[in-house]
Chain A
Amino acid sequence: MSIFFQQLINGFFIGSVYGLFAIGYTLVFGVLDILNLAHAAIFTLGGLSALWLTTTAGLSPWEAFPLATLFSGVLGLVLYRVAFAPLRRRADSNLSGLISSIAMAIVFESAAMGIFGARTVRFPEGMFPNRVWHFGSIILTSLQLEIVVVALALMVVLTAWLKHTRTGKAVRAVAESENTARLLGINVERIVSETFFVSSALGGAAGILYGLYFDALAPNMGHSIELKGLAVIILGGMGSIPGAILGGIAFGLSEVFTVELTGMSNLRDAVAFTVLLLILILKPSGLLGRGRVREA
């Protein structure tokens, strides 16, 4: 029974990082109907730049992590300017946007490899005083707790931002209908840019937390989370923020319990992707989706 609880906790922790990654993904999809496949590359660069700031630049984590998060947001602005803005008027902009985001992902990833090298690196040991608590046989570390607190706090801030601030309301208006939003005097270009900034900043933050959780950072670390993030946002419903959070945690739990129940770590993603395929076929709007699937 204690193994069950331990796995529940582990799944919840990693799931909260998946959720944080996925809300950035789903935010852009909700607003622009574009699948931004460069999100995982920004996730990687967020983690690696945080590492650079703590080691080479010698900043403390409290300075480095917010800076790296901001840097990821700026990368998001660059991404939007270069890869998405020029395509906005095109009729097939969501498919060509998908492809230009792949192009930017390749450019970002090769930049990461050129700057940081191809090998796996980690945050310096003892950067955080990592305390370990034992509750009976259940182990909980302060790092895990900090990761989940940061992830959940960012999610709460994002939700509040979307719900209550003027900009957040404008973002939702643009997501609902770009033309109506423009008629109402909303500066759509600016809102879309800000959406990219916020989405990418969250992606970068997820990269930092992921690097801390697994104690490993590499230029190709985005590959595995790219598809997991897709699974999460489809599970939760494209464009739905609560769906992305719940989907992330569900995905984290399904990973650890698949391994626990079958004893085969190779099967880790099998359940999730089978479920993903089935959801797309049976109920493409996802569990908490907006109830419509737009055509390409």
Chain B
Amino acid sequence: MSEFFAVYGSLINFVGINALLALSLYVPLSAGQLSLGNAAFAAIGAYGSAILTMRFNVPFPLAIAAGACLSAAVAMAIGTPVLRIRGIFLAMATLAFGEVVRIVAVNLAITGGAEGLIGIPNKTTALIIYGTVAATAYFLAVLGGSRIGWSFASVREDETAAMVMGINTTRYKNGSFVLGAFIAGIAGALYAHLNFIITPGEFGFSAEVQLLIYNIVGGTRSVLGPILGAFIITVLPEVLRGVGVTAGPLRMGVNGVILLLVILYLPNGLSSLFGQKR
């Protein structure tokens, strides 16, 4: 068991972080908002918390909370204007926001420029990661069955109809966006204190797309979907390596093929194979 953990420890940790990131995107998706800015919110949480622990010796839990709150505050500030845009245009606006965050991180002295921050204290453990994933998943599952969750779903299915029924759609859209950013901020903070080093490039376009892939492959009809998606996409390259597929391009190509098959044949994701939705 300890040998297993020694070999696969970092993989296990990354599965957890990616699951948390996937859940952060799941929240706005469950309200029908296709945001491609959650990697940028993770970056804000990562940089915010790492600067606090490295420069100001702030205790780790406090730094995580501060990073997540900073991320949520930024989401609150941009949420109202950005969420008036719908569908693909929202996706592009959030992508542009992500680019702006990346460019800011590259150009500020306090974020270490293009080289990023190096020497972040290693404080994240597997226990912390999986505790957070479990708590977040439980919270989101409870939320999903509550009045708020049903309001999210009604906004997703038909925004106009939801508005007619007296649901304050702006408030729920903003709420899903801010909650998603908060969770992404936590994930980013945990990642920063796991990885020793963070660079602006890791939180770019490819990362945004990766989060979307987790959700699409797993499915967004329940909290288990994003976790399943993150697990499969993160573990698959290692499994392929295990069975003798060593060519990097091939392992990358498999991700593309899986995504294609899922979107063509299983629009509700792999989790829809198990049991009823919701």
Q: Interface of A with B (CB < 8 Å)?
A: 33, 35, 82-83, 86-87, 90, 94-96, 98-100, 102-107, 109-111, 113-114, 118, 223, 226-227, 230-231, 234, 264, 266-267, 269-270, 273-274, 276-277, 280-281, 284, 293-296
CB within 8 Å for A99 and B81 given contacts A227-B95, A231-B96? no
Q: Which of B88, B90, B97, B206 is most buried by chain A, counting CB atoms within 10 A of its CB?
A: B88
CB within 8 Å for A280 and B252 given contacts A270-B103, A273-B103? no
Residue B216 is within 8 A (CB to CB) of chain A in the complex: yes
- Cβ of A296 and Cβ of B260 under 8 Å apart? no
- Nearest CB on A from B225, distance (A): 14
Among B82, B88, B253, point to the contact of A296 (Cβ < 8 A): B88
- Cβ of A113 and Cβ of B252 under 8 Å apart? yes
Among B87, B95, B99, point to the contact of A295 (Cβ < 8 A): B87
Q: Which residues of B contact A227 (CB under 8 A)?
A: 95-96, 99, 205
- What is the CA–CA distance of A280 and B37 in the complex, to the nearest angstrom? 15
Majority secondary structure, A binding face: helix
Q: Which residues of B contact A270 (CB under 8 A)?
A: 100, 103, 107
Residue interface bits B68-94, CB-to-A below 8 A is 1, else 0:
000000000000011011111111110
Among A86, A95, A99, A295, point to the contact of B259 (Cβ < 8 A): A99
Would you list 9 pairs from A and B whose C-beta atoms are within 8 A, ordered by A residue?
A96-B263, A99-B259, A109-B252, A110-B249, A113-B248, A223-B206, A227-B96, A273-B99, A273-B103
4 closest A-B pairs by CB: A296-B87, A106-B256, A110-B253, A114-B249
Q: Which residues of B contact A274 (CB under 8 A)?
A: 100
- Cβ of A102 and Cβ of B81 under 8 Å apart? no
Q: Which residues of A contact B106 (CB under 8 A)?
A: 266
Residue B143 is within 8 A (CB to CB) of chain A in the complex: no
Q: Which residues of A contact B212 (CB under 8 A)?
A: 99, 102
CB within 8 Å for A114 and B100 given contacts A102-B209, A107-B260, A296-B86? no
- Cβ of A99 and Cβ of B263 under 8 Å apart? yes
- What is the CA–CA distance of A109 and B209 in the complex, to the nearest angstrom? 14
Please report the total number of B residues contacting A with Cβ < 8 Å: 43
- Cβ of A107 and Cβ of B253 under 8 Å apart? yes
- Cβ of A280 and Cβ of B99 under 8 Å apart? no
Residue B247 is within 8 A (CB to CB) of chain A in the complex: yes
- Cβ of A230 and Cβ of B95 under 8 Å apart? yes
- Cβ of A103 and Cβ of B263 under 8 Å apart? yes
Q: Which residues of A contact B20 (CB under 8 A)?
A: none
- Cβ of A280 and Cβ of B248 under 8 Å apart? no
Among A111, A113, A281, point to the contact of B85 (Cβ < 8 A): A281
Among A90, A231, A264, A281, point to the contact of B267 (Cβ < 8 A): A90
Chain B residue with the shortest CB-CB distance to A38: B256
- Cβ of A95 and Cβ of B92 under 8 Å apart? no
Q: Which residues of B contact A107 (CB under 8 A)?
A: 253, 256-257, 260
- What is the CA–CA distance of A230 and B91 in the complex, to the nearest angstrom? 11
- What is the CA–CA distance of A90 and B93 in the complex, to the nearest angstrom? 25
- What is the CA–CA distance of A264 and B86 in the complex, to the nearest angstrom? 34
- What is the CA–CA distance of A33 and B86 in the complex, to the nearest angstrom? 13
- What is the CA–CA distance of A267 and B102 in the complex, to the nearest angstrom? 11
- Cβ of A296 and Cβ of B34 under 8 Å apart? yes
- Cβ of A277 and Cβ of B96 under 8 Å apart? yes
- What is the CA–CA distance of A104 and B209 in the complex, to the nearest angstrom? 13
Residue B189 is within 8 A (CB to CB) of chain A in the complex: no
Chain B residue with the shortest CB-CB distance to A295: B86
Residue B11 is within 8 A (CB to CB) of chain A in the complex: no
Among A35, A118, A264, point to the contact of B107 (Cβ < 8 A): A264
Q: Which residues of A contact B99 (CB under 8 A)?
A: 227, 269, 273
Residue B114 is within 8 A (CB to CB) of chain A in the complex: yes
- Cβ of B264 and Cβ of A226 under 8 Å apart? no
Chain B residue with the shortest CB-CB distance to A86: B264
- Cβ of A104 and Cβ of B256 under 8 Å apart? yes
Chain A residue with the shortest CB-CB distance to B99: A273
Within 91-126 of B, Cβ neighbours of A (below 8 Å) are at 91-93, 95-97, 99-100, 103, 106-107, 113-114
Q: Which residues of A contact B82 (CB under 8 A)?
A: 280-281
- Cβ of B89 and Cβ of A280 under 8 Å apart? yes
- What is the CA–CA distance of A90 and B264 in the complex, to the nearest angstrom? 10
- What is the CA–CA distance of A236 and B24 in the complex, to the nearest angstrom? 32
Q: Which residues of A contact B54 (CB under 8 A)?
A: none
Chain B residue with the shortest CB-CB distance to A273: B99
Q: Which residues of B contact A118 (CB under 8 A)?
A: 248-249
- What is the CA–CA distance of A111 and B256 in the complex, to the nearest angstrom? 11
